[in-house]
Amino acid sequence: MATINVTDESFKADVLESDKPVLVDFWADWCGPCKMIGPSLEEISDELSDQLTIAKMDIVENTGVPTDMGVQSIPLMVLFKNGKPVAQKLGAAPKNQLKGWIESEL
């Protein structure tokens, strides 16, 4: 399953009320490292689709949730389980490191 886009309006339903873990990638179009990890997150989303959903939130178009969560630097990935943030990773990394981190937190 490909990544999904979430907005301030859909965040509660898509992330907080999800029946499986959701990794939210806070990003922006002007962020080079964000663009670097995008394809890796798409691949990981397909590979781990039975275990979690990977969602992307553009912090320029959606300011409410990132502000509420105190997002100050991107890319920031936050893993939610049962509606609660349980782990986060700041910055870009190779696909194998991203996938390894995600699997270790599931």
Would you name the residues annotated as active-site residues? 31, 34
Give the integer Cα–Cα distance in Å for 83 and 24: 12
With a CB cutoff of 8 Å and minimum separation 6, the contacts of 14 are 4, 6, 22, 53, 55
Instruction: With beta carbons less than 8 A apart as the criterion, state whether 54 and 23 touch.
Output: yes
Give the integer Cα–Cα distance in Å for 36 and 104: 22
Torsion of CA 39, 62, 8, 86, to 10 degrees: 60
